[in-house]
Amino acid sequence: MTDPSRPLRKLGFLTIGLFDAADPGPGHQETLRLIELGERLGFDSAWLRHRHLQHGISSPLAVLAAATQRTDRIELGTAVTPLGWENPLRLAEDLATVDVLSGGRLNPGVSIRPPTHWEQVKGSLYPDSADVEDFGYQRVRRLLDLVAGKPASGFSGTEGIETYSERVQPHSPGLIHRMWYGAGSLRSARWAAEQGMNLLTSSVVQAEESEDFDEVQLAHIRAFRGAHPDGAGARVSQGLVVIPTDSATPAQRARYEEYARARLPRTARPQGPARLMFAPDLVGSSADIAERLVARAAFREIDEVAFALPFTFAPDDYEQILTDMATRLAPSLGRRPAD
């Protein structure tokens, strides 16, 4: 067994839930089956990523609401919800509702920035307020306050036969402690810590102080914990693309290796005006992947993961990958099976 500095404590996976535009039902059902499989395999969490105006899940909370009725133990998260598409008050209501349905298993992850293709979509999304919408940290702060139970209205009491609350209903008291921020920059990592949030760090970061992905991610994790009230105990989850091949067929192995090879060039240098850096996908045996993960300084700082599944594979591929993750890779990283 590989000996990481922090043995893996929580094992999660992330998917975007692809579907056929002409027949979207089967793809959504397959995502639910994948979450059920994750629970059976002993995963601690399953995460969905938003894909607005694409052929991936656009409404993770609706899918997770369905998943609450088909699972009992596995935690359910969003990684991440881009708040530029959301009204914080309405989102707070939806988050609390799904958390209540799940029995306190929801882990909402959020981020900020203007919606993708803003100039093309703003007329539909914010036809009357596009010029004044705030897509900064304050939007997250509004959501946190509402989830925590701070007033959403100046009125409460009974009016006729109806009773009104000044705060979001339902209220789920523990939810505020399970709010995550998806940070790709040093500034965002520090800000999330100052708000008492948990940190989601992924396979994408901004090349600010270095062009070495591992160095950048390590700096984010340490800055986050340095500014967080919980210090070294502050929760951080890492989400790299990891594809174990222990039980894969030769055809699957070839397909996985080609997938990673096609995406490798983007990892060589920072990309675009934002200088985004991408981590290479890890493909190979669980023993090999474990060695490569533990060689990363950033990985040695964390004990939670939400490994990202490749976007374009088939259900049989995902079943093989998740099975190898749970039964071979996780034990190699020091994780004990979930009860």
Three-state SS string across the chain, please? CCCCCCCCCEEEEEECCCCECCEHHHHHHHHHHHHHHHHHHCCCEEEECCCCCCCCCCCHHHHHHHHHCCCCCCEEEEEEEEHHHCCHHHHHHHHHHHHHHHCCCEEEEEECCCCCCHHHHHHHHCCCCCCCCCCCHHHHHHHHHHHHCCCCCCCCEEECCEEECCCCCCCCHHHHHHCEEECCCHHHHHHHHHCCCEEEEECEEECCCCCCHHHHHHHHHHHHHHHCCCHHHCCEEEECEEEECCCCCHHHHHHHHHHHHHHHHHHCCCECCCCEEECCCEEECHHHHHHHHHCCCCHHHCCEEEEECCCCCCHHHHHHHHHHHHHHHHHHCCCCCCC
Q: Is the pLDDT of residue 80 over 80?
A: yes
Query: Could you give the domains of the chain?
Result: 10-153+163-332 (3.20.20.30)
Taking the model in full, what pTM does it have? 0.96
Give the mean pLDDT of the chain: 96
pLDDT at residue 5 in the model = 66
Q: What is the pLDDT of residues 110-136, one digit of tens each?
A: 999 999 999 999 999 999 999 999 999
Q: What is the pLDDT of residues 140-165, one digit of tens each?
A: 999 999 999 999 999 999 999 999 99
Q: Is the pLDDT of residue 257 over 90?
A: yes
Q: Is the pLDDT of residue 2 over 80?
A: no
Q: What is the pLDDT of residues 31-48, one digit of tens each?
A: 999 999 999 999 999 999
pLDDT at residue 339 in the model = 46
pLDDT at residue 91 in the model = 98
